Homo-oligomer: A and B are copies of this chain.
Amino acid sequence: MLSVDEVLERILAQFEPLPPQTIPVDLALRRVLAKPITAPLDLPPFSNSSVDGFAVRSADVSTASPEHPVELPVVADIPAGVSPHMPLPANCAARIMTGAPLPENADAVVPVEHTDLSFQSAASQPPTTVRVLIPVRPGENVRPAGQDLAKGQPVFASGHRLRPQDLGLLAALGISEIEVHDQPRIALFSSGDELLPPSSPLTPGKIYDSNRLMLRALIDQAGGKALDLGIVPDALDAIRTALDTAVEGRADLILSSGGVSVGTYDHVRGLMEQEGIVHLWRVNVRPGKPLLFGKYHGVPVLGLPGNPVSAFVGFLVFIRPAIYRLAGLPSSPTPTVKAILEHAVESDGRESYLRAIVRHETGKRLVRLAGHQGSGNLYGLVQANALLIVPAGVKSLAKGSEVDIWPLENFSE
Protein backbone atom coordinates (compact mmCIF):
# COMPACT_ATOMS: atom_id res chain seq x y z
CA MET A 1 0.00 0.00 0.00
CA LEU A 2 1.54 3.29 -1.12
CA SER A 3 0.70 6.76 0.14
CA VAL A 4 -0.74 9.39 -2.18
CA ASP A 5 2.50 11.37 -1.93
CA GLU A 6 4.66 8.36 -2.83
CA VAL A 7 2.55 7.59 -5.88
CA LEU A 8 2.46 11.21 -6.96
CA GLU A 9 6.22 11.43 -6.66
CA ARG A 10 6.65 8.31 -8.82
CA ILE A 11 4.28 9.68 -11.42
CA LEU A 12 5.85 13.13 -11.57
CA ALA A 13 9.31 11.59 -11.95
CA GLN A 14 8.13 10.37 -15.38
CA PHE A 15 7.40 13.83 -16.73
CA GLU A 16 9.33 16.94 -17.52
CA PRO A 17 8.29 20.29 -18.97
CA LEU A 18 7.62 20.13 -22.71
CA PRO A 19 9.96 21.99 -25.07
CA PRO A 20 9.27 25.64 -25.89
CA GLN A 21 7.39 26.86 -28.93
CA THR A 22 6.89 30.41 -30.16
CA ILE A 23 3.30 31.62 -30.37
CA PRO A 24 1.55 34.97 -30.88
CA VAL A 25 0.61 36.71 -27.64
CA ASP A 26 -3.01 36.76 -28.94
CA LEU A 27 -3.21 33.01 -28.36
CA ALA A 28 -1.30 32.90 -25.09
CA LEU A 29 -4.06 33.05 -22.47
CA ARG A 30 -3.37 30.31 -19.85
CA ARG A 31 -0.15 29.23 -21.59
CA VAL A 32 3.02 28.92 -19.48
CA LEU A 33 6.13 30.98 -20.21
CA ALA A 34 9.19 28.91 -21.13
CA LYS A 35 11.58 31.86 -20.75
CA PRO A 36 11.63 34.83 -18.40
CA ILE A 37 10.52 38.17 -19.84
CA THR A 38 12.34 41.43 -19.21
CA ALA A 39 10.98 44.81 -20.27
CA PRO A 40 12.29 45.73 -23.77
CA LEU A 41 11.28 49.36 -23.20
CA ASP A 42 10.27 51.84 -20.50
CA LEU A 43 6.64 52.05 -19.39
CA PRO A 44 5.42 54.63 -20.03
CA PRO A 45 7.79 54.85 -23.02
CA PHE A 46 8.07 58.66 -22.70
CA SER A 47 7.23 61.31 -20.09
CA ASN A 48 3.65 62.33 -20.65
CA SER A 49 0.87 64.39 -19.21
CA SER A 50 -1.61 62.82 -16.80
CA VAL A 51 -4.18 65.58 -17.41
CA ASP A 52 -5.59 67.80 -20.15
CA GLY A 53 -3.89 71.19 -19.72
CA PHE A 54 -0.80 73.23 -20.50
CA ALA A 55 2.81 72.10 -20.36
CA VAL A 56 5.03 74.73 -18.75
CA ARG A 57 8.36 75.28 -17.06
CA SER A 58 7.16 75.26 -13.45
CA ALA A 59 9.51 78.12 -12.44
CA ASP A 60 7.73 80.38 -14.92
CA VAL A 61 4.40 80.11 -13.08
CA SER A 62 5.63 79.98 -9.48
CA THR A 63 4.00 83.33 -8.63
CA ALA A 64 0.63 82.55 -10.22
CA SER A 65 -2.52 83.19 -8.22
CA PRO A 66 -6.16 83.89 -9.10
CA GLU A 67 -5.51 87.57 -8.27
CA HIS A 68 -2.24 87.73 -10.22
CA PRO A 69 -2.42 85.15 -13.00
CA VAL A 70 0.66 84.47 -15.10
CA GLU A 71 -0.17 84.92 -18.77
CA LEU A 72 1.80 82.80 -21.24
CA PRO A 73 1.63 82.57 -25.04
CA VAL A 74 0.52 79.12 -26.26
CA VAL A 75 3.25 78.22 -28.78
CA ALA A 76 2.42 74.58 -29.51
CA ASP A 77 -0.44 72.09 -29.45
CA ILE A 78 0.30 68.49 -28.47
CA PRO A 79 -2.56 66.01 -28.85
CA ALA A 80 -2.02 62.39 -27.84
CA GLY A 81 -0.14 60.32 -30.38
CA VAL A 82 2.13 63.04 -31.81
CA SER A 83 5.71 63.95 -31.03
CA PRO A 84 6.36 67.57 -29.98
CA HIS A 85 8.41 69.13 -32.75
CA MET A 86 10.31 71.64 -30.62
CA PRO A 87 11.50 72.24 -27.05
CA LEU A 88 9.33 74.57 -24.97
CA PRO A 89 10.81 78.10 -24.89
CA ALA A 90 10.96 79.96 -21.54
CA ASN A 91 7.79 81.79 -20.48
CA CYS A 92 5.66 79.88 -22.96
CA ALA A 93 3.01 77.15 -22.70
CA ALA A 94 2.02 74.24 -24.95
CA ARG A 95 -1.52 72.90 -24.93
CA ILE A 96 -1.23 69.19 -24.08
CA MET A 97 -3.73 66.33 -23.83
CA THR A 98 -3.73 63.40 -21.40
CA GLY A 99 -1.12 60.85 -22.49
CA ALA A 100 0.63 63.22 -24.90
CA PRO A 101 4.43 63.52 -24.66
CA LEU A 102 5.84 66.37 -22.58
CA PRO A 103 7.88 68.73 -24.76
CA GLU A 104 11.59 69.10 -24.00
CA ASN A 105 12.33 71.68 -21.24
CA ALA A 106 8.78 71.52 -19.85
CA ASP A 107 8.69 69.95 -16.36
CA ALA A 108 5.05 70.16 -15.31
CA VAL A 109 1.50 70.45 -16.62
CA VAL A 110 -1.09 72.99 -15.42
CA PRO A 111 -4.53 71.33 -15.55
CA VAL A 112 -7.04 73.27 -17.64
CA GLU A 113 -9.14 73.77 -14.49
CA HIS A 114 -6.27 75.83 -12.99
CA THR A 115 -6.35 78.31 -15.90
CA ASP A 116 -8.76 80.92 -17.16
CA LEU A 117 -9.86 78.55 -19.93
CA SER A 118 -12.52 75.91 -19.93
CA PHE A 119 -12.43 72.32 -21.18
CA GLN A 120 -10.56 72.03 -24.50
CA SER A 121 -11.37 69.37 -27.05
CA ALA A 122 -8.33 68.11 -28.93
CA ALA A 123 -10.17 68.91 -32.13
CA SER A 124 -10.57 72.59 -31.19
CA GLN A 125 -8.16 75.37 -32.17
CA PRO A 126 -5.66 76.01 -29.37
CA PRO A 127 -5.92 79.45 -27.72
CA THR A 128 -3.19 82.04 -28.37
CA THR A 129 -2.61 82.72 -24.66
CA VAL A 130 -3.41 81.11 -21.33
CA ARG A 131 -3.59 82.62 -17.83
CA VAL A 132 -2.32 80.30 -15.13
CA LEU A 133 -4.15 80.78 -11.82
CA ILE A 134 -2.37 78.24 -9.59
CA PRO A 135 1.35 77.30 -9.67
CA VAL A 136 2.60 73.74 -10.29
CA ARG A 137 5.49 71.93 -8.63
CA PRO A 138 8.22 70.42 -10.85
CA GLY A 139 7.00 67.05 -12.05
CA GLU A 140 3.36 67.73 -11.19
CA ASN A 141 0.86 66.00 -13.51
CA VAL A 142 3.72 64.32 -15.35
CA ARG A 143 4.15 60.56 -15.65
CA PRO A 144 7.90 60.17 -16.16
CA ALA A 145 9.21 57.63 -18.68
CA GLY A 146 9.83 54.28 -16.97
CA GLN A 147 7.76 55.19 -13.90
CA ASP A 148 5.84 51.91 -13.96
CA LEU A 149 8.50 49.67 -15.43
CA ALA A 150 12.05 50.43 -16.53
CA LYS A 151 13.64 48.91 -19.63
CA GLY A 152 15.56 45.77 -18.65
CA GLN A 153 13.55 45.13 -15.49
CA PRO A 154 12.38 41.52 -15.02
CA VAL A 155 8.64 41.22 -15.64
CA PHE A 156 7.73 37.51 -15.61
CA ALA A 157 9.63 34.44 -14.47
CA SER A 158 9.52 31.37 -16.63
CA GLY A 159 6.85 28.96 -15.45
CA HIS A 160 4.32 31.80 -15.14
CA ARG A 161 0.85 31.06 -16.48
CA LEU A 162 -0.54 34.00 -18.40
CA ARG A 163 -3.68 35.82 -17.24
CA PRO A 164 -5.62 38.52 -19.13
CA GLN A 165 -3.76 41.33 -17.36
CA ASP A 166 -0.42 39.68 -18.23
CA LEU A 167 -1.32 39.65 -21.93
CA GLY A 168 -2.17 43.35 -21.56
CA LEU A 169 1.28 44.06 -20.13
CA LEU A 170 3.04 42.04 -22.83
CA ALA A 171 1.11 44.04 -25.44
CA ALA A 172 2.00 47.32 -23.68
CA LEU A 173 5.65 46.28 -23.96
CA GLY A 174 5.27 45.70 -27.70
CA ILE A 175 5.84 41.96 -27.31
CA SER A 176 3.80 40.15 -29.96
CA GLU A 177 5.35 36.68 -29.79
CA ILE A 178 6.53 34.67 -26.82
CA GLU A 179 8.05 31.30 -26.01
CA VAL A 180 5.73 29.05 -24.06
CA HIS A 181 5.87 25.38 -23.22
CA ASP A 182 4.14 23.15 -25.72
CA GLN A 183 0.61 22.26 -24.63
CA PRO A 184 0.39 18.77 -23.08
CA ARG A 185 -1.39 16.31 -25.34
CA ILE A 186 -3.38 13.80 -23.35
CA ALA A 187 -4.84 10.83 -25.20
CA LEU A 188 -7.78 9.24 -23.44
CA PHE A 189 -10.10 6.33 -23.91
CA SER A 190 -12.82 4.59 -21.93
CA SER A 191 -12.68 0.84 -21.89
CA GLY A 192 -15.39 -1.65 -21.17
CA ASP A 193 -17.83 -3.72 -23.20
CA GLU A 194 -20.67 -2.33 -21.09
CA LEU A 195 -20.16 1.25 -22.27
CA LEU A 196 -22.32 3.10 -24.78
CA PRO A 197 -21.93 6.65 -26.11
CA PRO A 198 -24.72 8.96 -24.83
CA SER A 199 -26.23 9.25 -28.30
CA SER A 200 -27.14 5.52 -28.62
CA PRO A 201 -30.29 3.91 -27.24
CA LEU A 202 -29.68 2.17 -23.91
CA THR A 203 -29.76 -1.63 -24.20
CA PRO A 204 -30.02 -4.14 -21.32
CA GLY A 205 -26.89 -4.49 -19.22
CA LYS A 206 -25.22 -1.43 -20.76
CA ILE A 207 -24.47 1.95 -19.22
CA TYR A 208 -23.54 5.26 -20.76
CA ASP A 209 -19.89 6.28 -20.80
CA SER A 210 -19.68 9.32 -18.51
CA ASN A 211 -15.97 9.45 -17.80
CA ARG A 212 -14.64 10.38 -21.20
CA LEU A 213 -16.62 13.59 -21.49
CA MET A 214 -15.81 14.52 -17.89
CA LEU A 215 -12.09 13.78 -18.28
CA ARG A 216 -11.90 15.67 -21.58
CA ALA A 217 -13.30 18.74 -19.85
CA LEU A 218 -10.94 18.30 -16.89
CA ILE A 219 -7.97 18.01 -19.28
CA ASP A 220 -9.12 21.19 -21.00
CA GLN A 221 -9.48 23.02 -17.67
CA ALA A 222 -6.00 21.90 -16.62
CA GLY A 223 -4.52 23.41 -19.78
CA GLY A 224 -4.04 20.19 -21.73
CA LYS A 225 -5.23 19.18 -25.16
CA ALA A 226 -7.39 16.06 -25.20
CA LEU A 227 -6.98 13.47 -27.94
CA ASP A 228 -10.19 11.47 -27.62
CA LEU A 229 -9.88 7.86 -28.71
CA GLY A 230 -13.45 6.97 -27.83
CA ILE A 231 -14.80 3.82 -26.22
CA VAL A 232 -12.51 0.85 -26.63
CA PRO A 233 -13.88 -2.68 -26.19
CA ASP A 234 -12.21 -5.20 -23.87
CA ALA A 235 -10.20 -6.77 -26.66
CA LEU A 236 -6.44 -6.92 -27.08
CA ASP A 237 -6.44 -5.69 -30.68
CA ALA A 238 -8.77 -2.79 -30.00
CA ILE A 239 -6.68 -1.65 -27.05
CA ARG A 240 -3.45 -2.00 -29.02
CA THR A 241 -4.94 0.09 -31.82
CA ALA A 242 -5.96 2.80 -29.32
CA LEU A 243 -2.50 2.88 -27.76
CA ASP A 244 -0.86 3.00 -31.22
CA THR A 245 -3.13 5.88 -32.25
CA ALA A 246 -2.12 7.77 -29.11
CA VAL A 247 1.57 7.25 -29.87
CA GLU A 248 1.12 8.33 -33.49
CA GLY A 249 -0.79 11.38 -32.23
CA ARG A 250 2.32 12.32 -30.20
CA ALA A 251 0.49 12.01 -26.88
CA ASP A 252 2.53 13.01 -23.84
CA LEU A 253 0.34 10.87 -21.62
CA ILE A 254 -2.23 8.16 -22.31
CA LEU A 255 -5.13 8.10 -19.89
CA SER A 256 -7.45 5.15 -19.75
CA SER A 257 -10.55 5.09 -17.67
CA GLY A 258 -10.95 1.45 -16.87
CA GLY A 259 -14.03 -0.43 -17.69
CA VAL A 260 -15.37 -2.17 -14.63
CA SER A 261 -14.17 -5.46 -16.03
CA VAL A 262 -10.72 -6.63 -15.05
CA GLY A 263 -10.24 -7.94 -18.59
CA THR A 264 -9.10 -4.59 -19.87
CA TYR A 265 -6.43 -4.22 -17.24
CA ASP A 266 -5.22 -7.66 -18.16
CA HIS A 267 -4.89 -6.58 -21.78
CA VAL A 268 -3.36 -3.19 -21.05
CA ARG A 269 -0.97 -4.79 -18.60
CA GLY A 270 -0.07 -7.43 -21.13
CA LEU A 271 0.67 -4.86 -23.82
CA MET A 272 2.84 -2.86 -21.50
CA GLU A 273 4.65 -5.82 -20.03
CA GLN A 274 6.12 -6.41 -23.47
CA GLU A 275 7.92 -3.11 -22.90
CA GLY A 276 9.03 -4.01 -19.43
CA ILE A 277 7.32 -1.26 -17.46
CA VAL A 278 4.02 -1.80 -15.75
CA HIS A 279 2.85 -1.31 -12.20
CA LEU A 280 -0.50 -1.70 -10.52
CA TRP A 281 -0.13 0.56 -7.52
CA ARG A 282 -2.38 0.02 -4.55
CA VAL A 283 -2.83 3.53 -3.19
CA ASN A 284 -3.99 4.37 0.31
CA VAL A 285 -6.73 6.66 -0.99
CA ARG A 286 -10.51 6.80 -0.98
CA PRO A 287 -12.30 6.73 -3.34
CA GLY A 288 -9.81 4.75 -5.32
CA LYS A 289 -8.82 1.49 -6.82
CA PRO A 290 -5.43 0.25 -7.91
CA LEU A 291 -3.82 2.79 -10.21
CA LEU A 292 -2.25 1.34 -13.33
CA PHE A 293 1.00 2.90 -14.44
CA GLY A 294 3.05 1.82 -17.39
CA LYS A 295 4.74 2.86 -20.60
CA TYR A 296 3.80 2.03 -24.15
CA HIS A 297 6.42 2.84 -26.78
CA GLY A 298 7.94 5.22 -24.25
CA VAL A 299 4.68 7.11 -23.55
CA PRO A 300 3.45 7.02 -19.93
CA VAL A 301 0.07 5.31 -19.51
CA LEU A 302 -2.12 5.91 -16.46
CA GLY A 303 -5.23 3.86 -15.86
CA LEU A 304 -7.96 5.41 -13.75
CA PRO A 305 -10.85 3.45 -12.24
CA GLY A 306 -14.09 3.23 -14.17
CA ASN A 307 -16.22 4.56 -11.34
CA PRO A 308 -16.84 8.18 -12.24
CA VAL A 309 -16.18 9.65 -8.79
CA SER A 310 -12.97 7.63 -8.41
CA ALA A 311 -11.93 8.78 -11.88
CA PHE A 312 -12.69 12.41 -11.00
CA VAL A 313 -10.74 12.33 -7.74
CA GLY A 314 -7.94 10.30 -9.34
CA PHE A 315 -7.64 12.93 -12.04
CA LEU A 316 -7.34 15.81 -9.57
CA VAL A 317 -4.94 13.95 -7.28
CA PHE A 318 -2.64 12.26 -9.82
CA ILE A 319 -3.24 13.42 -13.40
CA ARG A 320 -3.60 17.17 -13.08
CA PRO A 321 -0.21 17.54 -11.36
CA ALA A 322 1.35 15.55 -14.23
CA ILE A 323 -0.29 17.86 -16.80
CA TYR A 324 0.97 20.88 -14.86
CA ARG A 325 4.49 19.41 -14.85
CA LEU A 326 4.34 18.85 -18.63
CA ALA A 327 2.98 22.37 -19.13
CA GLY A 328 5.98 23.84 -17.31
CA LEU A 329 4.23 25.01 -14.15
CA PRO A 330 6.30 24.82 -10.98
CA SER A 331 5.50 21.73 -8.94
CA SER A 332 3.53 22.61 -5.87
CA PRO A 333 0.81 20.83 -3.98
CA THR A 334 -2.74 21.73 -5.03
CA PRO A 335 -3.65 24.57 -2.66
CA THR A 336 -6.24 23.74 -0.03
CA VAL A 337 -8.67 26.02 1.74
CA LYS A 338 -9.55 25.80 5.43
CA ALA A 339 -13.12 25.23 6.57
CA ILE A 340 -14.95 24.36 9.79
CA LEU A 341 -16.57 20.95 9.92
CA GLU A 342 -20.32 21.09 10.64
CA HIS A 343 -20.57 17.53 11.95
CA ALA A 344 -18.28 14.69 12.99
CA VAL A 345 -16.81 12.62 10.14
CA GLU A 346 -15.65 9.02 10.46
CA SER A 347 -12.92 7.77 8.14
CA ASP A 348 -11.13 4.48 7.65
CA GLY A 349 -7.54 5.70 7.86
CA ARG A 350 -7.09 6.08 4.12
CA GLU A 351 -6.41 9.54 2.68
CA SER A 352 -9.98 10.43 1.73
CA TYR A 353 -11.49 12.90 -0.68
CA LEU A 354 -15.14 13.18 0.29
CA ARG A 355 -17.88 15.05 -1.53
CA ALA A 356 -18.78 18.07 0.52
CA ILE A 357 -20.87 21.21 0.52
CA VAL A 358 -19.33 24.48 1.62
CA ARG A 359 -21.36 27.47 2.70
CA HIS A 360 -20.54 30.81 4.27
CA GLU A 361 -22.22 31.99 7.41
CA THR A 362 -21.34 34.94 9.63
CA GLY A 363 -17.92 35.18 8.01
CA LYS A 364 -17.10 31.52 8.51
CA ARG A 365 -16.60 28.85 5.88
CA LEU A 366 -18.54 25.77 6.98
CA VAL A 367 -18.37 22.36 5.36
CA ARG A 368 -20.49 19.23 5.57
CA LEU A 369 -20.61 15.99 3.61
CA ALA A 370 -22.86 15.82 0.53
CA GLY A 371 -25.19 12.87 0.07
CA HIS A 372 -23.95 9.30 -0.07
CA GLN A 373 -20.33 8.73 -0.93
CA GLY A 374 -20.59 5.68 -3.20
CA SER A 375 -17.86 5.86 -5.81
CA GLY A 376 -20.38 5.41 -8.61
CA ASN A 377 -22.53 8.28 -7.38
CA LEU A 378 -21.79 11.02 -9.87
CA TYR A 379 -24.95 12.85 -8.80
CA GLY A 380 -23.45 13.19 -5.31
CA LEU A 381 -20.35 14.74 -6.90
CA VAL A 382 -22.48 17.12 -8.93
CA GLN A 383 -24.31 18.25 -5.78
CA ALA A 384 -21.00 18.88 -4.05
CA ASN A 385 -19.05 22.11 -4.36
CA ALA A 386 -15.89 20.92 -2.60
CA LEU A 387 -13.88 17.86 -1.70
CA LEU A 388 -13.18 17.41 2.01
CA ILE A 389 -9.72 15.94 2.54
CA VAL A 390 -9.25 13.55 5.45
CA PRO A 391 -5.53 12.86 5.91
CA ALA A 392 -4.13 9.33 5.96
CA GLY A 393 -4.18 7.78 9.43
CA VAL A 394 -7.10 9.86 10.67
CA LYS A 395 -10.11 7.81 11.74
CA SER A 396 -12.40 10.58 12.89
CA LEU A 397 -12.75 14.33 12.71
CA ALA A 398 -14.73 16.12 15.41
CA LYS A 399 -17.52 18.57 14.74
CA GLY A 400 -16.08 22.08 14.69
CA SER A 401 -12.56 21.02 13.72
CA GLU A 402 -10.67 22.88 11.02
CA VAL A 403 -10.27 20.79 7.88
CA ASP A 404 -8.75 21.13 4.42
CA ILE A 405 -10.97 21.32 1.37
CA TRP A 406 -10.57 21.65 -2.38
CA PRO A 407 -13.25 23.94 -3.80
CA LEU A 408 -14.83 22.47 -6.95
CA GLU A 409 -16.26 25.66 -8.43
CA ASN A 410 -13.50 26.55 -10.78
CA PHE A 411 -15.01 29.44 -12.63
CA SER A 412 -13.90 32.97 -12.17
CA GLU A 413 -17.19 34.22 -10.85
Structural contact, A44 and B207, CB atoms closer than 8 A: yes
Structural contact, A308 and B172, CB atoms closer than 8 A: yes
| Minimum CB distance partner of A177 in chain B | B199
Structural contact, A207 and B168, CB atoms closer than 8 A: no
Shortest A326–chain B CB gap in Å is: 15
Docked CA distance A148–B378 (Å): 8
Tell which of A4-12, A14-22, A95-103 binds the partner: A95-103
Structural contact, A26 and B213, CB atoms closer than 8 A: yes
Q: Is A175 an interface residue (CB 8 A)?
A: yes
Structural contact, A155 and B198, CB atoms closer than 8 A: no
Structural contact, B408 and A410, CB atoms closer than 8 A: no
Structural contact, B205 and A81, CB atoms closer than 8 A: yes
Task: Provide the residues of chain B in CB contact with A30, threshold 8 Å.
Answer: 411
Shortest A83–chain B CB gap in Å is: 3
Docked CA distance A39–B175 (Å): 50
Docked CA distance A13–B76 (Å): 46
Contact bitstring A179-210, B, C-beta under 8 A = 1, else 0: 00000000000001111111110111111111
Task: Provide the residues of chain B in CB contact with A208, threshold 8 Å.
Answer: 171-174
Contact bitstring A51-86, B, C-beta under 8 A = 1, else 0: 010000000000000000000000000011111100
Q: A123-B266, A148-B377 are in contact. Are A172 and B207 (CB under 8 A)?
A: yes
Structural contact, B193 and A413, CB atoms closer than 8 A: no
Shortest A82–chain B CB gap in Å is: 5
Binding site for B on A (CB under 8 A): 25-26, 29-30, 41, 43-46, 50, 52, 79-84, 97-101, 119, 121-123, 143, 147-149, 155-156, 161, 163-176, 192-200, 202-218, 220-222, 234, 259-263, 266, 306, 308, 312, 324, 329, 334-335, 338, 363, 372, 374, 376-382, 402, 408-413
- Sort A-B residue pairs by CB-CB distance and give the 6 closest, nearest first: A168-B214, A81-B194, A410-B412, A83-B204, A99-B260, A164-B217
Q: What are some 22 contacts across the A-B interface (CB < 8 A)?
A: A26-B213, A26-B216, A80-B194, A81-B194, A81-B206, A97-B262, A101-B205, A147-B377, A148-B377, A149-B379, A155-B382, A163-B411, A164-B215, A164-B217, A165-B378, A167-B213, A168-B214, A170-B213, A172-B308, A175-B198, A176-B197, A324-B413
